[in-house]
Amino acid sequence: MQDGEPSAVAARPSSTVHVAPVRPGGASTSSLIGTALFVVVCVLLVDVVAEGWLVTLFGARHLDPTTGATVVEAAGWPKAVKSFLYITLALLTMAKLTLDRTWGRLRTGADLALLALAAVLLLAGMFGPSEPKLIVEAMFVYFRGAIVFYALRALNPGRDRIRRLIWIMGILMGVEVLVALVQMVVGRAAYRAVGWVDMGWARIGRAQALLDHPNDLGHFAGLMLLGLFALFAVRETVGRWWWAAAAATALALGAAQSRESILAVLLCLVVIFVLRRAHWRRFAGLAGLVILTAGIPIMTSQISRDEWIRRFAGVAAALHIHAGQECSAQGITVTDPDQSCDTADREIRLLYYQQGEKLLVRRPVLGYGIGHFGGIVAYQNNPNWNEDPRFQPVGFNKYKFAAKTVDAFWLHLVIEAGLVGLIAYLVWQWFLAAPFVRELRRRREPRRARAPGHPTYYWAPAAILFVTLVATLSAALEDPLVPPLLFTIVGIGWVVLARDKQTEQQV
């Protein structure tokens, strides 16, 4: 079956497929656009994985006069290239759907849920209020990953192209794994060798490979591990090389020491097992592998042990003394508005959530308007976004945290778009995963006795759940890396599922 063939994917898995006629000359043009779509998706995947490294590698270096340390002013062109690729992808997708006359396939529950979510965010921006430019920029950041999802559905790639996309992600992961393991063993020299200047992560024993943050490595490794788990779920036998790939990726996950990623991977492994309901010994072995590799840095490095102890102590401290209670906890009477009563190291994300709860109570329905709180758009529009008069008199205290944004996507979303926005986003996520859950439930019916299905049937819903979980403690669903990776996985899954349904209907 050729890429882009309109009959390959049904508008709904259970609906009758109607093949729209293609105008003379349209087929060749559509094929060229399809090739361009595939190339742009591949380039975008490479770009988002390499961006954090490239902006540092090609950035302007200078010495900080106060500390004498080398500081890098990030290069701007990799981000400009990424935006260009997204815009190009969106235009090619619309052209492909128009030429193939397949806009009608975009009528699934997920498509309608996305429209509803977009309407809610638009209303939140209007009643925030947010300026039109701010609304457009914020909507782009919220939804740019979904462009990949629609590009893949418009392209409808064949098995060869699907295999190439997965191999591209696998090769990129392989490079990150190799660099991360060297960093874990060698230390600071390995960070400097690839161009990193700030040794902050090296000092606490967290590998970042060629990514901007160790959590980025954890998120990437987690998504790819789930793909391997899905492969293990459907195969009757698994070769030693696949076990070696799983072990190496899990070791990179452990080297990153991304706590939310490790916990989310283990939970999603359980979900894949529940969906498959077979090979329990194999899944138990995989769980043991993740736990073992996550523990290696802790067992072998005092620095890593100290960091884990410090972070758990920070969680306990934040639960004991909430945000805004610092002065009363110390018996201090505040007479100066600028007086600081910060206590010892507390988990910053918990402090942010505690403050967010107070802000949400004041505007629970549609929030404060998109583009105003915690995201990169808010920062670019106003570096002092946390001093917004609407957040007063309580305000939003960043506690001198160095990050420009709030590293908690769900907090960012609920403050900007309220509870309605949060619910709308979660409903969209469910509609993205639901077709796979329904199909796997159908395949488990005793009278059908069907094969376990394609690995993406398990990979896609697990990836959605994984990102939903890690977005609680990170900006995963709006950062440069995770959304295009996630929606590539989900997009491939939707194409495979629809194609299998079409084949089944024709038999």
Separation between Cα atoms, residue 449 and residue 409, nearest integer Å:
41
User: pLDDT tens, 130-188?
Assistant: 899 999 999 999 999 999 999 999 999 999 999 999 999 999 999 999 999 999 999 99
- The answer to whether the beta carbons of residues 225 and 246 sit under 8 Å apart is yes
Residue 73, φ and ψ in degrees, nearest 5: -90, 110
User: pLDDT tens, 334-350?
Assistant: 444 344 565 568 888 89
In this predicted structure, the answer to whether residue 17 has a pLDDT above a threshold of 60 is: no
User: pLDDT tens, 59-83?
Assistant: 888 877 776 677 888 888 999 999 9
Query: What pLDDT is attached to residue 399?
Result: 84
In this predicted structure, the answer to whether residue 13 has a pLDDT above a threshold of 60 is: no
- Using pLDDT thresholds of 50, 70 and 90, give the confidence band for residue 319: confident
Percent of the chain with pLDDT over 90: 66
Query: What pLDDT is attached to residue 6?
Result: 40
SS3 71: strand
Q: Which value, to the nearest 10 degrees, does the dihedral of the CA atoms of residues 382, 383, 388, 391 take?
A: 140
Query: What pLDDT is attached to residue 1?
Result: 45
Query: Which tops the pLDDT comparison, 330 or 450?
Result: 450
- The answer to whether the beta carbons of residues 462 and 230 sit under 8 Å apart is yes
Query: Which tops the pLDDT comparison, 452 or 224?
Result: 224
H-run or E-run covering 73:
strand 70-73
- The answer to whether the beta carbons of residues 272 and 226 sit under 8 Å apart is yes
Residue indicated by tokens 């209020």: 129
Query: What pLDDT is attached to residue 340?
Result: 53
Query: Which tops the pLDDT comparison, 387 or 448?
Result: 387
Within its chain, how far is the Cα of 144 from the centroid? 12
The mean-pLDDT minimum among 78-87, 323-332, 424-433 falls in 323-332
- The answer to whether the beta carbons of residues 32 and 100 sit under 8 Å apart is no
User: pLDDT tens, 251-281?
Assistant: 999 999 999 999 999 999 999 999 998 889 9
Query: What pLDDT is attached to residue 18?
Result: 39
Within its chain, how far is the Cα of 223 from the centroid? 9
Within its chain, how far is the Cα of 182 from the centroid? 25
Separation between Cα atoms, residue 488 and residue 148, nearest integer Å:
6
In this predicted structure, the answer to whether residue 227 has a pLDDT above a threshold of 60 is: yes
Query: What pLDDT is attached to residue 394?
Result: 67
User: pLDDT tens, 178-219?
Assistant: 999 999 999 999 999 999 998 989 999 899 999 999 999 999
> Per-residue b/e over 145-169, b at no fewer than 16 CB within 10 Å?
bbbbbbbbbbbbbbeebbeebbebb
Mean of per-residue pLDDT scores for the chain: 88
Separation between Cα atoms, residue 185 and residue 7, nearest integer Å:
52
Q: Could you tell me where the beta strands, DSSP code E, fall in 147-202?
A: none
Residue 72, φ and ψ in degrees, nearest 5: -110, 125
Omega before 129 within 30 of 0, i.e. cis: yes
Spell out the SS3 assignment of 324-360.
CCHHHHCCCCCCCCCCCCCCCCCCHHHHHHHHHHHHH
Residue indicated by tokens 């410090």: 310
The mean pLDDT of 20-44, rounded to a whole number, is: 82
178: which residues sit within 8 A by CB, 6+ positions away? none
User: pLDDT tens, 365-413?
Assistant: 999 999 999 889 999 999 889 888 888 776 788 888 877 888 899 999 9
In this predicted structure, the answer to whether residue 416 has a pLDDT above a threshold of 50 is: yes
- The answer to whether the beta carbons of residues 3 and 156 sit under 8 Å apart is yes
The mean pLDDT of 473-499, rounded to a whole number, is: 95
Q: Which value, to the nearest 10 degrees, does the dihedral of the CA atoms of residues 459, 462, 463, 464 take?
A: 130
- 433: tokens are 């995963």
